[in-house]
Amino acid sequence: MSQYEDLQAGPIFPRGDKVGENFLGDAYLEMLYVDEKPLNGAIGNVTFAPGARNNWHVHDVGQILLVTGGEGWYQEWEQPARHLQKGDVVTIPADVKHWHGATKEAWFVHLAISPGGTTWLEEVAEADYLAL
């Protein structure tokens, strides 16, 4: 079984380019899938350096996150933050204000499957992030 245990070592999908807007800290995006068919959504590989996170935002259809490595947070507005690690799956409903990103100490990588558009809002307050 050692080959099975080792087969996913190292980064899986390309890290892509640094994201310039709507994120704090160093985050990277590689689009893996953007065709119109057969899926009704795009697939991106999102990599957050320690401390990086996106701003509060809302998806008009929703989004699925598949966590492939590291440690991070997912938080909906006025809800406690959920700690995320490799293997976690997050279903983000339509019209729910939320953010996601790395913990202060760890890199964080997830796939994001997005069937619709995104409305970007304000930054996550530094004090709230540091208190996690």
Asked if 127 is part of the footprint of a second copy (rule: CB under 8 A), the reply reads: no
Query: What 3-state class would DSSP assign to 81?
Result: coil
72 in Cβ contact with 81 (< 8 Å): no
Rounded Cα distance between 106 and 123, Å, is: 20
User: Which of 77, 79, 83, 94 is in the footprint of a second copy by CB under 8 A?
Assistant: 94
Q: Which is closer to a second copy, CB of 110 or CB of 129?
A: 110
Note whether 100 binds a second copy by CB under 8 A. no
Contact 109, 11 (CB under 8 A): yes
Window 6-45: residues binding a second copy (CB under 8 A):
6-14, 32-33, 35, 37-41, 43
Q: How far is CA 83 from CA 1, 39, 74, 120, in A?
A: 29, 28, 7, 22
Residue closer to a second copy (CB basis): 51 or 123: 51
Quote the least distance from Cβ 48 to a second copy, whole Å. Answer: 10
Q: What is the C-alpha separation between 97 and 78, in angstroms, rounded?
A: 9
Given the rule CB under 8 A, which residues bind a second copy?
Answer: 3-14, 32-33, 35, 37-41, 43, 47, 49, 59, 61-64, 66, 68-70, 86-87, 89, 91-94, 106-107, 109, 111, 113, 115-116
